[in-house]
Structure formats: structure tokens, C-alpha cells
Amino acid sequence: MPDTISKEPNMPEGHASFTPALTFAFEIRAELSPTLHVGHGDGEKTEFTPIIGGTVDGPMLRGTVLPGGGDWSNTRGRVCELDARYLLRAEDGAVIDIVNRGYYHEGGQSPDQYDGDLQVSAAGVYYRTSPTFRTDAPAHRWLAETVFVGLARAEREDVVAIRMYALA
């Protein structure tokens, strides 16, 4: 893609404009146990969904989702705030900690969205995450040094797929 000279107001003369780009890194398919009701607050509902396994597959990372983590969700009105924490095991045996926070809600104006032939989100559904990773494995240190955006979708009642994109 050729650099373009910006015509934007307040842009110094001769500077190129910049648009952030997302690169597909990998997809996590987390297998879930039934959701557990935790409690109600004033106008909210708190639940926990255990993560019991799954897979990681993509051009930048392959492995498995280890059992034992979970997703704490808090729903207020029509917006569900997600806070998941679980472990991945890379093909080389390295363990990677993921904290994945995000939001789910229906009723928006967004269209169906595709990455190639794969539908990554349905019309009217906002299901996005912002994961962070920790590991001391040198081969996977890049995960802890990169900003990611996750596009999530329910694949089945017991599987959530999260397509991870690295922000350039």
C-alpha cells in the first residue's frame, strides 16, 4: 500500500497519514461447562462459566486451552461485561496466561462481518475482547509485548471462538 501525503488539517506538511492495521494471529476455541449463577445486584446479574479445554490454531500460535479457567460475566441492562482468565499450552509446551476482558451486547447497528469466508460476527451483535498475555517462554514473549483485539462468536452452546488479531 503506497504512503499518502495527508491533507488532514493540523497535519505537518509532508507527513504520511497512518491507519492502524490488524493481522490475524490465531483463534482460540474454548470449551465451556454450563454457566453458574453467582448472584444479583441492583439491576445486574453475575455469572461464572468454567473453561474446560479447547484449542489454539493459527499462523502465529498453536496449542491447547488448559482446563481450570473461567469467565466471570456481569450483565447490567443489555450489556454483558466479560472478564475471563485461563491458561494456554503452546505446541512447544510453554504455558501462557491470558486475561481476556470485553463486552457482549445485542441490538446494535453492526452488519455481518467476515474474515475471508469465515463469518466472525453476526449482524447486531457486539462481542469483542481485549486480551493480555503473560509468559516467560522466549519463543512466545511477543504475546506479552503486543496489543490484540479479539472478535468472539458462539460456535456452539458449549464452545466460544475468539479470533485474535495483532494490532500493528
- Which residue ranges make up each domain of the chain? 22-167
Mean pLDDT along residues 111-133: 88
Burial class of 15 by CB neighbour count within 10 A (0 to 12, 13 to 18, 19+): exposed
Burial class of 160 by CB neighbour count within 10 A (0 to 12, 13 to 18, 19+): buried
Question: What percentage of the chain exceeds 90 in pLDDT?
Answer: 69
Of 33-42, 48-57, 68-77, 119-128, the range with the lowest mean pLDDT is 119-128
Query: What pTM was estimated for this model as a whole?
Result: 0.85
Per-residue cell: 140: 512466545
**Centroid of chain to Cα 17:** 27
22-167 to CATH, choices 3.90.850.10, 3.40.50.460, 2.40.160.20, 3.90.380.10: 2.40.160.20
- Reply yes or no on whether the pLDDT at 11 is more than 70: no
